[in-house]
Chain A
């Protein structure tokens, strides 16, 4: 991309971020917006002249456990926030997925700004929401070089447009977040996982629907087909396993695991994992373990979000040589293609267009990401509106230009 290491700007405060964006505007330069750079390999390769490195904007600025609220500068490492929350038995309710291992990096490298900019969410998404749902307030520098704020530090707030929502998941293409305020939640006192063995994908979708439609308050539901089961060391046996997590107060979990086990027995043999095994198992799900190994590292990886019951039908349209597993009660499918340079994009796009949802190419060589859509192609009216939204924040395309789509 013609970029050298000398072209990194590392602002120390929000004012310097504003200066950097204004410099880019005045000199017709484009900036790569980065926290720790842990998700740099995700998205369309972007043509930029310099990197705006936000790792210097670090530190928690407000934490009030009893108000369930935390503010931090955007470059604050996620692990630092997790540690602080853990000391007060709290956590991020949306349980962010860690892309480090599948992108060939270490775990725990991300920043809070990056997690929000990519709207990450892990297995608990189906119960607690994604990063967007916990994102209360923001200060950011738009592509016009203006410092703006939106939202606040309280959960209930409808004052003005909810700019937090559109910044979450905008991949740094609209504004550079400098400080964020998020809702935090108490950590659950106890957890357990009910495992149903031996189901095919369609039957597993029905079992997960039954579990989610029960009063058991299931906090995560995934199906691990037999061809990936051996990657999950915490499973009782390396066979197709439909896993259902229960979290909460100990007496409640104790009661619900028996209730859920009884409801699942008509589907297949049931075992219950204790707390330690449950935690280990869901960490592997969160880190997309089967596709994070060195062996899988070269294979294109897709992430598909669809209606939970459509999961198996989408999977059936994809080459049988692909490997996959389901999270979000069947509504999230991770698909690893068999050959390094062949993302099989056409089959994925057709399946999603027919059955609904969206697919993102999470991992592929840069040349592949430059030649096929990484994010879901949009219908023309939505695409035009998205371009106008981009222009409203960043009319000169100085922030991560083209990272999501050409022109956005």
Chain B
């Protein structure tokens, strides 16, 4: 599919052989891949609608190699796209035809586990779940848990500021990372943060987190680890309308209860999930809520009873409480399999990711029903109900001419609606190439210019992952210019004392 990317640099492509030879001198052995067949696995990420072979793939093993590769590319004006496990759902790791694809998979070691300070120091290619597994023997875990946690890497999590079903209570990546080592595009290696809390100066780590690989390449990460809760139990509650379910969510939070997870599914998603995993979901309800409470046993038992009361007051038509760990996991099995379950009932689906103020849910669901009719496509909804993060799954068939384009238009209209009701374009999947051209629905040109000026502070030549996040690329010199008007007071009315 056609996607506008930065204009090809013919000069760089003409030097391809020499560039590959230089890269081989920096990363010896099999760390440089230039054969088309071997580069094929890197041509796309989790957003498979877009494919592009890179000019060359480089798989460094040390910070020194990363620094030398970036420094060389910086001096030669060669673009670089960093990549973790390639699970991005927004095309964040989509290669450039004239760029180096910098794969960080070989940075896969856990460097230190420090239970007394409750931190782990890991390389960026370690998987999200890998961190929790490495500390599980002492009863600890790493809190953010994106659905792709078995495959996605912590480096990628930093790039995307990944969330997960538990981030209402435990925060996103940015709230759980304490430090990193990062290599700037010019090859400089910096340490941000450490095992301590907060920054001594500007919160540069906070800016790097969620920057979608445009500011630097992370080569080491220090994360906070938490002690596992003593107990977790879940309620599975069915409602006759999504309004009732939404009301229940508001009442739970209004009662001062912050559940570990709170997920909602609509009827098409419930049916798809139930047919797939037989989790015992009720099929005669319009909305299903999974509420998980975790913490000390006494607290969980106390809150389960309170949530059950609230659910019944909100017209719940069914309410099951997990009586065992197996049953709790079964409640979740349907939700966790919702995406593949939808994949069974439709040849293709397009997963969206907007966030809305929770109270707008009935309105947004209603408008999406209208869009289903308008586009002639079905849509199933799963929803992180606690924090308003909506994942509509648009069902389509790529083999039918024009359906993908229709699905994309449908998706764009949903995201515009999210912004219209006070929400945002993306809650956890990132902007990437997918939502890049929608950025002006949320930000003014002035807003975007300032973001790009910040990019210039990290990468003044704009060589790191260009074509992502920003719809228009500006040169840093142009962004830096200032037009200062007047020497006279333009505001004679401001009170002066």
Contacts and interface: CB of A to CB of B under 8 A. Distances in A.
Nearest to B200: A358
B161 interface: yes
A37 interface: no
A395 B299 contact: no
Given A26-B487, A252-B299, A392-B453, A305 B227 contact: no
A144 interface: yes
Interface residues of A, number: 111
B194 A357 contact: yes
B250 interface: yes
A154 B353 CA distance: 13
A291 interface: no
B331 to A, nearest CB: 22
B207 A161 contact: yes
A186 B256 contact: yes
Interface string A126-145: 10011011000000001010
Contacts of A69: 357
A381 B189 contact: yes
Interface in A237-267: 248-249, 251-252, 254-256, 259
Contact of A6 (B138, B194, B454, B496): B496
A271 interface: no
A315 interface: no
A169 B493 CA distance: 31
A234 interface: no
Given A158-B160, A249-B299, A389-B202, A148 B446 contact: yes
Nearest to B189: A381
Interface string B132-169: 00000011100000000000000000001101000110
Contacts of A310: 195
Contact of B206 (A148, A166, A404): A166
A252 B494 contact: no
A81 interface: no
Nearest to B449: A146
Contact of A132 (B140, B198, B256): B198
Contact of B198 (A66, A121, A158, A214): A121
Interface stretch (B52-60, B122-130, B335-343, B423-431): B423-431
B457 A385 contact: yes
B228 interface: yes
Interface in B461-497: 469, 480, 482, 484-491, 493-497
Interface in B190-222: 190-192, 194-207, 209-211
B258 A185 contact: yes
B480 A64 contact: no
Contacts of B448: 160
A133 B117 CA distance: 20
A388 interface: yes
A379 interface: yes
Name which of A27, A66, A68, A404 has the most chain B CB atoms within 10 A of its CB.
Answer: A66
Contacts of B398: none
Given A149-B447, A156-B163, A67 B357 contact: yes
Interface stretch (B43-51, B171-179, B317-325): B171-179
Contacts of B203: 119, 132, 165-166, 168-170
Given A152-B423, A156-B167, A382 B191 contact: yes
B381 interface: no
Interface in A9-25: 9-12, 16, 19-20, 22-23, 25
B250 to A, nearest CB: 4
B295 A382 contact: no
Interface stretch (B101-109, B235-243, B383-391): B383-391
A379 B189 CA distance: 11
A391 interface: yes
B117 A381 contact: no
A287 to B, nearest CB: 19
A9 B425 contact: no
Interface in B232-256: 250-251, 253-256
A377 to B, nearest CB: 9
B207 A166 contact: yes
Given A157-B355, A308-B116, A331 B196 contact: yes
A309 B117 contact: yes
Contact of A19 (B384, B451, B487, B490): B490
Nearest to B453: A392
A362 B430 CA distance: 38
Contacts of A275: none
A259 B453 CA distance: 52
B32 to A, nearest CB: 27
Contacts of B138: 213
Name which of A160, A254, A306 has the most chain B CB atoms within 10 A of its CB.
Answer: A160
B141 to A, nearest CB: 12
Given A20-B491, A215-B229, A357 B388 contact: no
B494 A10 contact: yes
A212 B358 contact: no
A126 B457 contact: no
Name which of A187, A358, A386 has the most chain B CB atoms within 10 A of its CB.
Answer: A358
Given A10-B496, A159-B431, A252-B298, A129 B171 contact: yes
Contact of A26 (B163, B388, B484): B484
B447 A215 contact: no
A125 B207 contact: no
A408 B174 CA distance: 25
Contacts of B256: 89, 186-187, 189
A251 B302 contact: yes
A20 B426 CA distance: 34
A132 B177 CA distance: 13
Nearest to A170: B202
A9 B496 CA distance: 5
A392 B446 contact: no
Interface of B: 114-119, 138-140, 160-161, 163, 167-168, 171-172, 174-175, 184, 188-192, 194-207, 209-211, 227-230, 250-251, 253-258, 295-299, 302-303, 355-359, 384, 387-389, 422-431, 435, 439, 442-444, 446-451, 453-458, 469, 480, 482, 484-491, 493-497
The 7 A-B pairs at the shortest CB distance, nearest first, are namely: A165-B206, A358-B200, A252-B299, A186-B256, A376-B200, A19-B491, A255-B298
17 contacts: A27-B487, A125-B197, A155-B387, A156-B355, A159-B424, A159-B426, A161-B455, A164-B206, A166-B207, A212-B227, A217-B295, A252-B299, A309-B117, A379-B190, A381-B189, A392-B453, A405-B201
Interface of A: 5-12, 16, 19-20, 22-23, 25-27, 56, 64-69, 89, 119, 121, 125-126, 129-130, 132-133, 142, 144, 146-150, 152-166, 168-170, 174, 185-187, 189, 206, 209, 212-217, 248-249, 251-252, 254-256, 259, 305-310, 328, 331-332, 356-360, 375-376, 378-379, 381-382, 385-386, 388-393, 395-396, 404-405, 408
